[in-house]
Structure 1
Amino acid sequence: MISKRVGKVEEIVDKSDKLEDIRVNINGDIQRAYNYPKMTGKVNVGDEVVLNTTAVELSLGTGGYHFVITNLNNLESNLTEGGHIMKLRYTPFQVKVDSVEEQDSSYHDKFDEFSSLENLPVAIGTLHSMLTPFVASYKRNNPTKKLVYIMTDGASLPIYLSKNVEMLKNKGLIDSTITIGNAFGGDFECINIYTALITAKEILKADAIFISMGPGIAGTGTKYGFTGIEQGPLLDAVKKLGGMPIAIPRISFADKRDRHRGLSHHSITVFKDIVNVSVDIPITMYSEEKINLIKEQIKDNCLLKKHNIVYIDNKNTKDDLDYFGLKVRSMGRNYEQDKEFFEAASTAAYYLMEVCDDSRRKND
């Protein structure tokens, strides 16, 4: 199940205390690999490392890198000093984290005292690449409001793999991060989405929440066989706790696969068959031909009967990204190549701001 090779570190291209981008020599062939120092210790040029080479051997596009399993020259690592909750449980890679809910936590009682999210807006996406355009639009217009990112375990488990999260945090555009399930490495660790939502509201005092998996996604081309299906249960959880669930639709006119053209079959499946509650779905007003296709898809799948679908004229996405000097990419495509995809996430931020604007609500 795991392909392993021993390599020698030839070069450290980029490094931080969370992620090292290295080049390793495997039988004379120089190849790329990632090392998580908190898990497997820091590497130095000349170190011998054991590598998980499975994804590269399978020629995977997502997650197609070597990863260091252990550094034979440095066996020391320290993910966290405290905590008693394990993630990646009962595997050779299980890690100890300091979970917010655990009994020794100073926040332990917060969870029994919780009553409601009190209509706190929560935007939920299906791809990690939706994070940056949403954050750019939200924070440009609300620089002082607290935005919390909850990362699920639908794709990358270490949050360290996301250079976007690191960059957005360094720019002050994400105030705090929470990792849930078997995902780890956030500012706060939680066992599940319910306690993560409570943490965001009661402990971090969030004004808005964004939820998505980390980098990567698993898909099979079947109706239900994709990790983005988690959007349904996540939306249900927000509603269950008294929050405002806002679903970011996956929309593209650049994807060559017909099932992802316009409103992706991933979104249609979630909105039609998986989510159990009515949610808000903001749709960007694209060009006439494109919006007509989306409206036809919505009608054919009877989504208007179940959800609140709102059409919003948003032409600010590129300006918002440029304002913070942000670049975006999804499935290998940049903004110019797949702008409708990124606009969908940005539009969710504008919708969130509109419905949460107290002055507008009073004037309605």
Structure 2
Amino acid sequence: MISKRIGVIESIVDQSEGLDDIRVNINGDIQRAYNYPKMTGTVNIGDEVVLNTTAVELSLGTGGYHFVIANLNSLESNLTQGGHIMKLRYTPFQVKVDSVEEQESVYHEKIEGFKNLNNMPVVVGTLHSMLTSFVASYKKNNPNKKLVYIMTDGAALPIYLSKNVDTLKSKGLIDNTITIGNAFGGDYECINIYTALITAKEILKADCVFISMGPGIAGTGTKYGFTGIEQGPILDAVKKLGGNPIAIPRISFSDKRDRHTGISHHSITVFKDIVNVEVNIPITNYECDKLDKIQSQIKTNKLDKKHNIIFIDNKNTKEDLDYYGLKVRSMGRNYEQDKEFFEAASTAAYYLMEVCDDSRRNDY
């Protein structure tokens, strides 16, 4: 199930607290690999490392890198103090985290005393690439409001893999991160989406929460066989806890696959068959032919009978991204190649201002 090779580190291209981008020599072939120093320790040029090469050998597009399993020249221990909750449980890579819920946590009583989210807006996406354009539009118009990102375990498990999160945090655009399930590495660790939402509200005092998986998504081309289906249960959880659930639809007119044209079949499946509560679905007022396609999909699947669908004028996405010097890419496509996809996430931020924020409603 795991393909392993031994390589020698030839160069270290980039290093951060959570991720090393390295080049390794495997039998004379120089290849890219990642090392998580908090899991497998520090690495140096010339070190001999054991690599998980499975994804590359399968020619996977998402996650198609080698990962360091162990540094044979430095089998060090990195056990930290505190915390008793394990993630990646019962695997050779199980890691210990200090979860906010556990009894020894200083936050335990706040989790126990939670009552209600009090209509806190929670925006739920499906792809990690939705994060940047939402954050850019939200923070440009709400620079003093606190934004918390919750990363699920639907794709990458270490938050360190996300260059998006690293960039957005360094620019002060994401105030805090929470990782849930078997995802780990956030500023705060939680066992599930319910306690993560409570943490965002009670401990971090968030004005808004954005939720999505990390980099990567598993899909099979079948109706239910994709990890983005988690959007449904997450929206249910938001409503259950008294929050304001806002769903970002996956929209594209650049994807070559018919099932992802207009509103993706992923989003239609979630909105029609998976989510159990009424949610708010902001949709950009696109060009007429594209808007006709989307409205037809909405009517055909009776999404307007089940949910609150709001059409929003938004021509500011690129300006918001450029304001912070941010670049976006999804499925190999940049903003110019798939602008409707990125506008969908940005439009959720404008929905919050136009519809949810009474003090700003007249400004747009």
The TM tier, using the shorter chain, reads: over 0.9
Residue identity opposite 1:65 in structure 2: Y
Identity over aligned residues, as a percent? 83
Question: Alignment partner of 1:186: what SS?
Answer: coil
- 1:247 Cα deviation from its structure 2 partner: 0.2
- 1:78 Cα deviation from its structure 2 partner: 2.6
Preserved contact between residue 127 and residue 228 of structure 1 (Cα < 8 Å): yes
* 1:228–1:321 CA distance, 2 compared to 1 (3 A): same
Preserved contact between residue 38 and residue 77 of structure 1 (Cα < 8 Å): no
1:163 aligns to 2:163 (yes or no): yes
Superimposed CA distance per residue, residues 323-358 of structure 1 (whole angstroms, 9 cap, x where no aligned partner): 000000000000000000000000001101223313
Gapped regions of structure 1 (runs ≥ 5): none
Question: Alignment partner of 2:108: what SS?
Answer: coil
- 1:79 Cα deviation from its structure 2 partner: 6.5
Q: Output the CA distance in 1 between the equivalents of 2:286 and 2:150.
A: 29
Question: Alignment partner of 2:359: what SS?
Answer: helix
Preserved contact between residue 353 and residue 360 of structure 2 (Cα < 8 Å): no
TM-score with structure 1 length normalisation? Answer: 0.98
* 1:80–1:206 CA distance, 2 compared to 1 (3 A): farther
1:140 paired residue number = 140
Count of aligned residue pairs for this structure pair: 363
Q: Output the CA distance in 2 between the equivalents of 1:44 and 1:347.
A: 44
Residue identity opposite 1:131 in structure 2: L
Question: Alignment partner of 1:282: what SS?
Answer: strand
1:268 paired residue number = 268
- 1:360 Cα deviation from its structure 2 partner: 5.7
Gapped regions of structure 2 (runs ≥ 5): none
Preserved contact between residue 79 and residue 97 of structure 1 (Cα < 8 Å): no
* 1:361–1:14 CA distance, 2 compared to 1 (3 A): closer
1:355 aligns to 2:348 (yes or no): no
1:328 paired residue number = 328
Alignment of 1:260-299 (within 5 A): 260-299=260-299
Superimposed CA distance per residue, residues 33-85 of structure 1 (whole angstroms, 9 cap, x where no aligned partner): 00000000010000000000000000000000000001111112536432000
Q: Output the CA distance in 2 between the equivalents of 1:100 and 1:275.
A: 27
Q: Output the CA distance in 2 between the equivalents of 1:27 and 1:349.
A: 50
1:346 paired residue number = 346
Query: What CA RMSD, in Å, does the superposition of the two structures yield over aligned residues?
Result: 1.2
| Greater than 3 Å deviation, 4+ residue runs | 360-363
Question: Alignment partner of 1:150: what SS?
Answer: strand
Alignment of 1:14-25 (within 5 A): 14-25=14-25
- 1:3 Cα deviation from its structure 2 partner: 0.3
1:216 paired residue number = 216
Residue identity opposite 1:358 in structure 2: D
Q: Output the CA distance in 2 between the equivalents of 1:356 and 1:208.
A: 11
* 1:362–1:285 CA distance, 2 compared to 1 (3 A): closer
TM-score with structure 2 length normalisation? Answer: 0.98
